[in-house]
Amino acid sequence: MKHFSYKVAVLLGAAAVAASCGNMKQIKHQPYPETGRGDVVDNYFGTEVPDPYRWLEDDNSEATAAWVAAENAVTQDYLSQIPFRGAIRERLTELWNYAKESAPRRHGDWWYYTYNDGLQNQSVIYRTKNPGEAGEVFLDPNKLSDDGTVALAAMSFSKDGRWFAYSAAASGSDWVVIRVMDTADKSLAADKIEWVKFSGARWAPDSKGFYYSAYDAPKQNAYSSKNEFQKVYYHALGTPQSADKLVYEDREHPLRYFSAWPSEDGKWLFVVASEGTSGTEVLYKRVSDPKFRVLLPGFEADYSPVDCKDDRLYYVTNKDASNYALMKVDLNRPGMIETVIPESEKNLLEDVGTGGGYLFASYLENAQNRVRQYTYDGKPVRTVDLPAIGTVGGFGGKDEDTEFYYTLANYTAPATIYKYDIASGESKLYKAPEVNFDPSLFVTEQVFYTSKDGTKVPMFITRRKDMKRDGKNPCLLYAYGGFQINLTPGFNPSALMFVEQGGVYCVANLRGGSEYGEEWHKAGMLENKQNVFDDFIAAAEYLIAEKYTSTDKLAIHGGSNGGLLVGACEVQRPDLYAVCLPAVGVMDMLRYHKFTIGWGWAVEYGSSENEEQFSYIYKYSPLHNIKEGVKYPATLVTTADHDDRVVPAHSFKFAATMQHAQAGDAPILIRIDSKAGHGAGKPTSKRIDEAADMYAFLFQNIGVPYREIEN
């Protein structure tokens, strides 16, 4: 096969690409595996709910393993017949193959940064004495495994820069092992901390040890059994884990998370507690005191520590401030709370960084970043003049810094690194990646559409400039809608490939995120969750009404909570889309809390063990609203065997039920990856393979072949 010629392809124009819809090869899938239906029935407050595929929850059983192999065989047979699958993978590989570098950060006498030469499975940590000069390899995660499936989940340096701790995750699992390196000679220390989840190493100010959060070793399946009683420990360098000091535990509340946060001056120690994915409590004590006390009581609001200076804790909160504010509390007189940066009337205070003796407040204005610099007493210094519109990261450094580096990215530009002068506020280009495409041919616009209840919802639309709004364009609609997660502009090589082909890539900022503050989040959680699905459905209807696309060219995609979104919208409006792509989704809303850390999502969703909450969860649970005799869109469910966040049983049961119920001819397939998890740390090779399969399935089922242009 000859290589794709990008220059020739772009000259064809979007209309020519989108018009090449004829002569599509029709593909039939093999018969679905025969999936036994059991007679399990649960009674929820008088409502009997069958669960015929309960047996698929046992991911260690031979029967489940046989079913997984059989389903994968059907899926791979189907995908292998798509004639342009290889060409898609080739173009994705070209687009992915560009040098990716993080902003450098100073620790001790070195500046550290990550670098990926293009297709490395995991990015490599480098260091240099002076930014801009050639660096040396400090740690190559690709050497931690033979196939790139061990990734770094977290990393931190001791205050003196002498020690480096990293958390290694295998095969995409949330479980990590913490190891320590001596930065002087890059040697690996004997220290090894196991059974850690949702925690890295938080170094004590004296650099002699670190705090971490861990669970007791699981007595049953480590990848699906429920996690309870997280504890905070202190590890002294050079000692075994068995000697680690228990810093904090709560025997009365097994379903809480705890994380330590020491002050830089070594005087105070804080523990941030949470009962789930939102709502926190802050405990505190002098390091020399025996017991913790409650400083900021939970769990009705969020409190996020920023800095501790002069016995005052600076923290970001949404208590009485839907758009968040920066506050400070006097630790010697905890009733003395003052506002440092007040809540903005219109824009979300997303984050506050520190550096050079200043505060840097990152705001979201219609889902795009703005940054403002303040003094510690809350006086505005300047609004930072950003080089472009997009998403920024890295605003902050050490107290003594006079400059630091940050990144800026959007839908048509990968993360570009700039150097920021703290005194002058000037940004200078440090490094810009080079990607094999011409960004001048594309445009991103932001539109606002009306949801079912009249709410205005923003959406980013990325397309070719020469696209015609004639209703014939392939369209991929993506969203998340939950857990205060904000979707801001970012570069996605897969989406860019789709847009090259004349596709329209859309990202909707649904309620459930916090793009417009905590009220926006609350409007999409618990009893209001249906608003999220209404927002997504309205986005699809808008794209059709405005002739960006049509029902037979529209695909929807989302992962995790976004997989729930796609599943719910698919069963509610199967007539609206041609293709549905739910990834690692929460599909069984009645039993999600019974696995690993699923209980932590009850603050967002509610629980089937509560009668009132069951009544609204049951109405939208994707698994329980599939109806026999309905013609469902072509569906490719994706999950992975080591996903211990949203266990694969969700996707297994959803796919089996959809296959059983499907009345139409569109395929219902499931792709189950091996040695992979929920998504974080997934090797580049696996990301490309999965994207190639997803887009091949998409193009095939909207009747638009991927067009490869030969030189």
CA-nearest of 264, 234, 322 to 520 is 322
CB neighbours of residue 138 within 10 Å: 18
| Angle (nearest 5°) at CA 42 between 36 and 43 | 155
| Angle (nearest 5°) at CA 703 between 700 and 707 | 75
- Is residue 560 part of the annotated active site? The answer reads yes
Catalytic option among 521, 624, 650, 678: 678
CA-nearest of 474, 471, 463 to 701 is 474
Structure-block tokens of residue 455? 């709410």
Question: HSE (CB half, 13 Å, CA atoms) of 502?
Answer: 28
Question: Which residues make beta-bridge pairs with 362?
Answer: 351, 371
CB neighbours of residue 159 within 10 Å: 16
Q: What are phi and psi of 671, to 5 degrees?
A: -110, 115
DSSP 3-state of 589? coil
Rounded Cα gap, residues 326 and 349, in angstroms:
9
- Convert 380-428 into a string of H (helix), E (strand) and C (coil): EEEECCCCCCCEEECCCCCCCCCEEEEEEEECCEEEEEEEEECCCCCEE
Catalytic option among 560, 608, 621, 651: 560
Rounded Cα gap, residues 315 and 20, in angstroms:
55
- Is residue 263 part of the annotated active site? The answer reads no
CA-nearest of 492, 495, 541, 487 to 511 is 487
Q: Do you know the residue count of the chain?
A: 711
Helices (H), 111-251: none
CB neighbours of residue 401 within 10 Å: 17
- List, by residue number, the catalytic residues: 560, 678
